Amino acid sequence: MSVRPIPLAIPFLLTATLLAAEPAPNQTAAERIAARTFPSVFQAWNPADNLKGEDKWTTLARHDLVFHAPDFFGLMWAGEFQGLSTTFTKYSQESALRIRKRLLGKNPNLMMLAELRYRDAHKSYLPENHAWWKRKDGKPIVGWEEGGYFLLDFSNPAYRDQVALQAKAVMNSGLFDGLMLDWWEDDENRLALVKAIRKEIGDSALILVNANDRQTPRTAAFVNGYFMECYKSNTVEDWQQIAETLEWAESNLKEPRINCLETWFHNSRKDLHLMRATTTLSLSLSDGYCLFSDPNPLPTPDHLHDWYEFWDRSLGRPRAKGGRNKDGSIQREFDHGLVVYNPLGNQPVTVDFTSPHTAASSRKTAMTFTVSPGDGDLFWKEAQK
């Protein structure tokens, strides 16, 4: 099961998380993914920042999956230019492995993925005149203006081979369970890239790609999950697209699957109906991970978020796949309760039980509840309270 830190309402129990057992030495990533309980939340680069005073690694370990650059974990590429390196410094590798051990002591089922640069990078990534920079009229092309990054020419086979060697180095470091590749599309060059990476890292390492709300049938066989960075979630059509892509990914990507669904708030982090809709859509249509975060256009670091009490109480494991009801909602039964997602554009739906249940949204215990459109809820069996 996932080992989550105890909510801050009872901080004297936080030390109990330090007693969590690490995964067995021979336990695979697939076994750890399958062992976790739900809800299951991921961290996209930046943390939950509303848990003031909590140790940053404890906060991170509340999540069941995290991706970040290797240096976030203290792992440093050897040599002057990161883009030319295929090894890490020995000292940083030893330090990073201690961090991994600490994190897995808090949450044995935490998946750690390294973001691997291939599309763009800071100007310090390569020598200024290197052939792997993508240029127009002899000048480097801006790839990510906010970060001051420039495009890399991954149409170049030699550069793709270098990225694949870096992927091998990442996996050989012993720190990571897999890789994250941003800005993903289903084109010929990315297909060639992911094939080259798979050749170097083998079948058991995880690959997560940022496809937003798009399906990528050409590269599907080589990736384990989508980072669904869903920046559009205002309309009925937006949510239909999100649901269709998530459902497709759960059936078509490589196993074990690690689909990560994220939406952004519209007005504030207190858009709780959106947080609940995101969480319950993920729970009802996937065995993946969810996140509700700040919109990227804000001047603060991207993907900062709150940790919500809604995520704290375990539903256990799913008992079956989710199913669509005649009233338009989607529901799924778990060991300790039921999840209901009601799509935007639907009518309010009534949820009836034959025994008392407690709603996560209100903490009220009853046998009949109503879920509004564009919302969702978790209902725990009263016996599990």
73-128: per-residue pLDDT in tens?
Answer: 999 999 999 999 999 999 999 999 999 999 999 999 999 999 999 999 999 999 99
pLDDT digit string, tens, across residues 38-73: 999 999 999 999 999 999 999 999 999 999 999 999
Statement: residue 11 has pLDDT above 80: no
72 falls within a domain: yes
Residue 134 lies in a domain: no
pTM: 0.93
Sign of the torsion angle spanned by Cα atoms 21, 24, 28, 30: negative
CATH at 344: 2.60.40
Mean pLDDT confidence for 278-295: 98
162-186 pLDDT, tens digit each? 999 999 999 999 999 999 999 999 9
Domain limit, last residue, from 288, 312, 336: 312
Cα-Cα-Cα-Cα dihedral of 94, 98, 292, 323, to 10°? Answer: 100
Q: With 60 as the cut, is the pLDDT of residue 189 above it?
A: yes
Q: What is the mean pLDDT of the chain?
A: 92
- Are 59 and 176 part of one and the same domain? yes
Question: Are both 176 and 325 inside the same structural domain?
Answer: no
81 within a domain of the structure (yes/no)? yes
Domain co-membership, 370 together with 281: no
User: What is the Cα 70 distance to its own chain's centre?
Assistant: 16
Higher-pLDDT residue of 139, 162: 162
pLDDT at 378 over 90: yes
Angle between helices 236-252 and 272-285 (to 10 degrees): 30
Residue 55 falls inside a structural domain: yes
* Single-letter code of the amino acid located at 32: R
pLDDT at 2: 37
Q: CATH number for the domain including 106?
A: 3.20.20
Kindly tell me if the per-residue pLDDT of 19 is higher than 80: no
Give the pLDDT score at 14.
32
Q: Is residue 34 domain-shared with residue 98, that is, in the same domain?
A: yes
Q: How far apart are CA 309 and CA 92, in angstroms?
A: 35
The answer, yes or no, to whether residue 308 has pLDDT greater than 60, is: yes
Note whether residue 59 is domain-resident: yes
At residue 383, the pLDDT reads 56
Q: Give 305's pLDDT tier (boundaries 50, 70, 90).
A: very high
- Asked if the structure places residue 379 within a domain, the reply is yes
Give the integer Cα–Cα distance in Å for 143 and 126.
15
Q: In the chain, pLDDT over 90 holds for what percent of residues? A: 89
Q: How confident is the model at residue 1 (pLDDT cuts 50, 70, 90)?
A: very low
What is the total count of domains within the chain?
Answer: 2
Same domain, 299 and 190: yes
User: Distance between CA atoms of 385 and 378, rounded to whole angstroms?
Assistant: 13
Residue 80: which domain range? 11-119+154-312
Which pLDDT belongs to residue 22? 66
349 and 278, same domain (yes or no): no
Q: How confident is the model at residue 18 (pLDDT cuts 50, 70, 90)?
A: very low
pLDDT at position 138: 86
159 has a pLDDT exceeding 90:
yes
Indicate whether 149 belongs to any domain.
Answer: no
Residue 188 and residue 115 share a domain: yes
Domain termination residue (choose one: 291, 312, 333): 312
pLDDT, tens digit, for every residue of 107-119? Answer: 999 999 999 999 9
Same domain, 224 and 354: no
**pLDDT of 3 higher than 60:** no
Quick check: is 17 in a domain?
A: yes
Residue where one domain finishes, among candidates 312, 331, 353: 312
Based on the domain organization, do 274 and 323 belong to the same domain?
Answer: no
Residues 185 and 259 in one domain: yes
Please check whether residues 49 and 100 belong to one and the same domain. Answer: yes
What gap in Å lies between CA 122 and CA 28, rounded to an integer? 34
Q: Exposed (0-12), middle (13-18) or buried (19+): which is 242, by Cβ within 10 Å?
A: buried
Q: Examine the domain organization and report whether 267 and 367 are in the same domain.
A: no
